[in-house]
Amino acid sequence: MSLKLKSLITNALQYGCLMLVSFVALLPIVWVVMTSFKSDAVANTYPPMFIFEPTISTYSDALTGGLLRFFLNSLIVAAASVTASFAIGLPAAYALARISFRGNQSISFWIISTRMGPPFGFIIPFYLIMSNIHLLDTWTALIVMYLIFNLPFMVWMLKGFIQESPKEIEESAMIDGCSTLGALGRVVLPTIKPGIAATIILSFVAAWNEFMYAVALTSTQAKTLPVATSDFSGSFVTGLRWNLMSVYATASMLPVLVMSIFVQRYLVRGLTLGALKG
Amino acid sequence: MSEEKAKITRRSYMKYVGGVVAVAVVAAAGYGIYEATKPTPTPMYTVNICTWFGAGLFTALIKEGVKQPLLLEFEKDKNVTVALADFTEDVVREKSLLDATSHTGTYDLWQSGGEVVAQYAVPKYLYPIDDYMKNYTDPKYLDLSDVYPKALEGLKYDGVSYGLPIYYTGPGITYRKDLFEEAGWDRPPNTMEELEEIAKALTKPPNQYGLTTRCKAGEEPGIDVGGFAWAYGGTWFEGGAKTATEIKANKAKPAFNTSEFLEGFKMFCDLSRKYGPPDTPNYTWYEQAEAYKSGLAAMVLPGNWCYWYLVQSATDETIKKNTRFAVPPPGPVRETQNFWSASLFMNADSKDKRAAWEVQQLCAGKKMQETMAASGNTAVTIRSLHRSGPLTELYPKEDLANIEKAMDIADWAYRPYFPEFPEVEILLGNATSAVVAGRDAKTALDEVQDKAYSLMKAHGYYD
Amino acid sequence: MNLTRYRTALFLLPTVATLLAVTIYPLLFALYASVHDWTFYSQTHVWPFVGLRQYQELLLDSDFRNSLLVTAMFCSGSVGLSFFIGLGLGLLFNRPLRGKNFFRTAVMLPLFVTPVVVGFGWRFMLQGRTGLITGYLLPLIGIQVDTVLARGSTALLSVIAADVWNQTPLMFLILLAGLSAIPRDMYEAAQVDGARTWQTFRYITIPNLRHVILIGLFIRTIDAFNASFGTIFIMTAGGPGTATETLPMLGWRIAFLSARFGTASALAMLMVLIMVIVGNLYVRSMR
């Protein structure tokens, strides 16, 4: 087989596979977004319609029904918990990465293991704590909860990034009179910026999508998007309002989607920075 | 030299701490502003209702976030505010459980299926309302003599009332009159044999099936299959023991593998498997309704909750016009049962029980039920609404009369009330789903029997 | 005062303190609850001590064993599939490609969809005759299926499919990052030496990727074990029967439907134990 033919076939296969995967990846999403623009009558037909007259009436229904508040709740809780875990976790990541001390490995492992607890087992104690300090149905409660699984992740990823960045720059900065923290801030951080971006995005997504604890700890004031979206699983009279649910689903996907399109490059470059050395 | 370095280290650490503190202060300030600009809570007591029926039932009170005139009038009259917390059923279950066990009193009223009274009453999480019912019923809102007695009965535990029904259904068959007539039937079936005959005649796969039932693994099939077992003389426990007290007193063992129960169970499963759509073992009430509305099935059984829902939500005109209601045929021993009510229960930790009671009677009373009826809901708890009022303009008189008959036949006893009830019902429901999917009925029921027995024994019923 | 000596401790303090504060009480609580008979029906504060009885009951319970099996199948299926697909995708992206940004964005999107929506969407698409996939797309290529979510085996496959759809992008990202870190000159040297594609793959790509692969698998395993609850819950709620009842589903059922908090806590402890053991294995092999 001539080289040209071979590379043609390989290319065709490459693009073919990618198109197939993209199709599978995008189909449900496009479907959901499409459904959000359907009117009630059209949304529940069999077989499902692809061509229809779009309407934004469902969106206005959702907005009067409180969509904005749920959106805001999710946004605030996710942003706050990610910021907090970054601020708290950064020094720890640095210490674990650069300073060799006894117990470094075990503390690392312990930090990661705090993320391993299945929610159902710990909802009750957390509910009791929160209700005793009157924090039920507040942002604070969820922010604290999400710290629990964002902090370990943040520490772990940042530790890896820091380990990868060359020590020499830091050392020379410190010789020049910089304190450790100063070096951390002025030298290390800029180097691992893509890595930070990647970690922040993934943590944000995790907090944004979290379901179990949000359900248990919020009621009406601090209800987040995933909880609100799941409320549509069986409204009796209206049946499953797929279009309304799709509006909520689209709203859930939107910020993260937009964020990801902008920082896409960082994601790969960031992870490349070898957070992946553990 | 090290002195300088040390100073720098301390300073930068302080900078770091300062940074964190600054962020925290800003955040706190923002939070404070948010709190300050929140609408001030009313000085009146707020009754919190935890429900999964918000979009279905409570639209009479709060529709899409806006309080309706009925509610506003009530709030002024009784000097309370009402707040609705609306979730899905599983979430409500979780939240009510958390609320009850931690005694936080977050919700004053829990809405749930009536059968849950056993679970919550025994550990004293509910407040008995007999006193309120006798002395504080406001005729402006609630007339107890007009409420279906069986509905009220089903909310008692050991003779004490704990809840008021706001939605009530009994047995029933919803069927396509036109398809029946096509097959030569001008009336609904009167015996189980006739039921099977009609179902068979109307089953023409793959586009039409005689009937549809809900058999998704879980508790739903348990509600329905039990009614059939009852019709054949079967009961959950020996001697028909129907409360935890009775079970304990008579040491009544489970009776799932008696020949009567098996026969009724098999009848339900066979009908579902032979004449229902192939995806039946994964059907919930939703898929059941969709099957009927899309013309896939000619009958829905065995509850009467679906009648009005199907008529109201069907988009196909033929289906809409030709849907009729009948009481299901009895079995060889007694009537086929089905009983379900959505009710409001009062939290024993509610901080203002009188206010909660007022809301309870508002929801169970004619005013709210009438608003429900106006939107076509026939599962109302008030008898007079089935005889006159908005329903008579929406449905044929014959159907309404049948509904009234069904409401009087309904008897909660076929589904006993005891705290372990949900677990046992899931065992039964899972078995039903498996049998409809092809498993052998006798083995499945034997397994249910064993598991139920060990469960009851472990909870000390037979000591 | 020379703080430098305490530098390590100070740096670690906020993190460790926060985590300890927030996790120590629940952990102790769950431990305490797991050895007491705490059910919904207990009168408040009257929880008899039962030692390890609840653990014993769990281990002997057929539902638990079934759940272990389902979880094992689910995890291996989901992690395995997402690994191979993710690796394949990574390799595809590692070559010169036009429209890279578009494809990468497209492939990554499923990661950001809320599990609740994933569950609903897939359940909707797989619903008998009216679902997009089963009623529309599959018949287009000639496959007639009556029911997918009603049969145990296909239900498990569907749930795995939904999870793979949702989580593969993460694996893909991690592997792609690892692949792009492999220096080009290694490949060039191999080509000069006349190595074929498969040999290059086996002797250059994989060894260099080993560490990254382990990390990817580790993260995926934890997620598939714990976090897939939302998706499965909405799609099948553990059914039909107990065919898709993973350990988290079983735990939720015991805690909130049977209301046996003591036993649920015992299950939670067991799950933590399993995770710690598995985690240890991964960490060890990464050294």
* ipTM for this prediction: 0.79
On whether any CB of chain C is under 8 Å from the CB of B9, the answer is yes
Nearest to B229 by CA among B422, B448, B458: B448
DSSP letters, chain C, are: --GGGGHHHHHHHHHHHHHHHHHHHHHHHHHHHHTB--BTTSPTT---B-TTHHHHHHHH-HHHHHHHHHHHHHHHHHHHHHHHHHHHHHHHHTS--TTHHHHHHHHHGGGGS-HHHHHHHHHHHTSTTTSHIIIIIHHHTT---S-STTSHHHHHHHHHHHHHHHHHHHHHHHHHHHHHTS-HHHHHHHHHTT--HHHHIIIIIHHHHHHHHHHHHHHHHHIIIIITHHHHHHHTTT-STTTT--HHHHHHIIIIIS-BHHHHHHHHHHHHHHHHHHHHHHHHHH-
Question: Given C4, C41, C146, which is nearest B419 (Cβ)?
Answer: C41
Cis before B302? omega within 30: yes
What are the Cα distances from residue B198, in Å, to A42, B57, B177, B334? 33, 34, 12, 21
CB contact under 8 A, B309 and A233: no
User: Would you state the pLDDT for residue B46?
Assistant: 81
Residues of chain A found within 8 Å of residue C104, distances taken between Cβ atoms: 264, 268
Over residues A94-128, the pLDDT tens digits come to 888 877 777 787 888 888 777 777 888 888 888 88
Q: Is A258 exposed, middle or buried (0-12, 13-18, 19+ CB in 10 A)?
A: exposed
Could you give phi then psi for residue C224, rounded to 5 degrees?
-65, -30
Task: Please report, for residues A53, A54, A116, B461, C284, the alpha-carbon distance to residue A57 in angstroms, rounded to integers and kept in the order given.
Answer: 12, 9, 43, 56, 56
pLDDT per residue as tens, chain B (463 positions): 444 444 445 666 666 667 667 767 777 766 666 665 555 555 678 888 888 877 677 888 887 667 888 888 898 888 888 888 887 777 888 888 888 887 888 889 998 888 788 888 888 889 999 999 998 888 888 888 999 999 999 899 888 999 999 989 899 999 999 999 999 998 899 999 999 999 999 999 888 999 999 988 788 898 899 999 999 999 999 988 988 889 989 999 999 989 999 999 999 999 999 999 988 887 888 788 888 988 889 999 888 888 888 888 888 888 888 999 999 999 999 999 999 888 999 999 888 899 999 999 999 988 889 888 888 888 889 999 999 889 998 899 999 999 999 999 998 889 998 888 888 998 899 899 889 988 899 999 999 999 999 888 888 888 8
Cβ atoms of B395 and B321 within 8 Å: the answer is no
Residue bearing the bigger pLDDT, A201 or B347 = B347
Cβ-defined contact of A120 to C30 (cutoff 8 Å): no
User: Distance between CA B193 and CA B428 in Å, rounded?
Assistant: 24
With a pLDDT cut of 70, the percent of chain C lying above it is 90
- Residue in chain C nearest A259 by alpha carbon: C112
Say yes or no for a CB contact (<8 Å) between A227 and B87. Answer: yes
> What would the pLDDT profile of A12-63 be if each residue is shown by its tens digit?
888 888 888 888 888 888 888 888 888 776 666 655 666 777 777 778 877 7
Residue C66 and residue C245 in contact, taking contact as beta carbons nearer than 8 Å: yes
CA neighbours closer than 13 Å in the CB half-sphere of residue C109: 25
Backbone φ and ψ of A152, nearest 5°: -60, -45
Over 90: is that where the pLDDT of C56 sits? no
Nearest CB to C15: which of A89, A120, A264?
A89
Rounded CA separation A225/A256 (Å): 13
**Count, residues in chain B:** 463
Amino acid, res. A238: T
CA–CA distance, C159 with A210 (Å, rounded to integer): 19
Alpha-carbon torsion angle A153, A156, A157, A160, nearest 10: -170
B23, B55, B83 member nearest A235 (Cβ): B55
Chain C nearest CA to B307, separation (Å): 22
Tens-digit pLDDT profile for residues C169-208? 888 888 887 787 777 777 788 778 877 777 777 777 787 7
Minimal C-alpha gap between B383 and chain C (Å): 34
Contacts (Cβ under 8 Å, ≥6 apart) of A203 = A81, A82, A85, A150, A153, A154
Structure tokens belonging to residue A108: 């690392």
Q: What is the pLDDT of residues C86-114, one digit of tens each?
A: 988 888 887 777 777 788 888 888 888 88
**Separation of alpha carbons B297 and A266, rounded Å:** 54
Tokens for A71, please give them: 């959106």
Chains touching B, CB cut-off 8 Å, 3+ pairs? A, C
For residue B2, what pLDDT is reported? Answer: 47
pLDDT tens per residue, range C15-28:
888 888 888 888 88
The residue of chain B with its CA nearest to that of A140 is B31
Locate C244 and state its tokens: 């898709």
Decide if pLDDT at C239 tops 70: no
| pLDDT tier at A237, thresholds 50, 70, 90 | very low
8 Å CB contact between A151 and A88: yes
Q: Is A217 on the interface with B (CB under 8 A)?
A: no
> Model's pTM, two decimal places?
0.79
Paired tokens of C201: 């793959």
Q: Give the 3-state secondary structure of residue B252.
A: coil
**Residue B453 carries which DSSP code?**
H
Give pLDDT, residue B403: 92
**Percent of chain A surpassing pLDDT 70:** 82
Tokens representing residue B326 in the block? 């009948």
For residue A188, give every residue at least 6 positions away whose Cβ sits within 8 Å of its Cβ, in sequence order, or none. A94, A162, A165, A170
**Residue B418: which residues within 8 A CB-CB, separation 6 or more?**
B118, B243, B244, B247
What tokens were used for A80? 């706050």
pLDDT of A257 above 70: yes
Asked if the C-beta of B21 comes within 8 angstroms of chain A's C-beta atoms, the answer is no
Q: B419 at the C interface (CB within 8 A)?
A: yes
Q: Which amino acid is at C69?
A: L
pLDDT at A5: 84
CB C118 within 8 A of CB C166: yes
- The two tokens of residue A170 are 């830091």
Q: Between C7, C129, C240, which is nearest B282 by CB?
A: C240
> Please, what sign has the CA dihedral across residues C143, C148, C151, C152?
positive
Residue B63: strand, helix, or coil: strand
Looking at chain A, which subunits does it touch, using at least 3 CB pairs closer than 8 Å as the criterion? B, C
Q: CB contacts < 8 Å between A and B, how many?
A: 96
Is C44 a residue whose pLDDT tops 70? no
Residue C141 has pLDDT above 70, yes or no: yes
Q: Does the pLDDT at position A163 exceed 60? A: yes
C-alpha distance from residue B312 to each of A43, B368, B371 (Å) = 17, 19, 15
Give the tokens for residue C28: 């102790």
d(CA C112, CA A32): 14
Q: Are B6 and C1 an interchain contact pair (Cβ–Cβ within 8 Å)?
A: yes
Q: Do residues B320 and B219 make contact, with C-beta atoms less than 8 angstroms apart?
A: no
Other C-beta atoms lying within 10 Å of the C-beta of residue A176 = 9
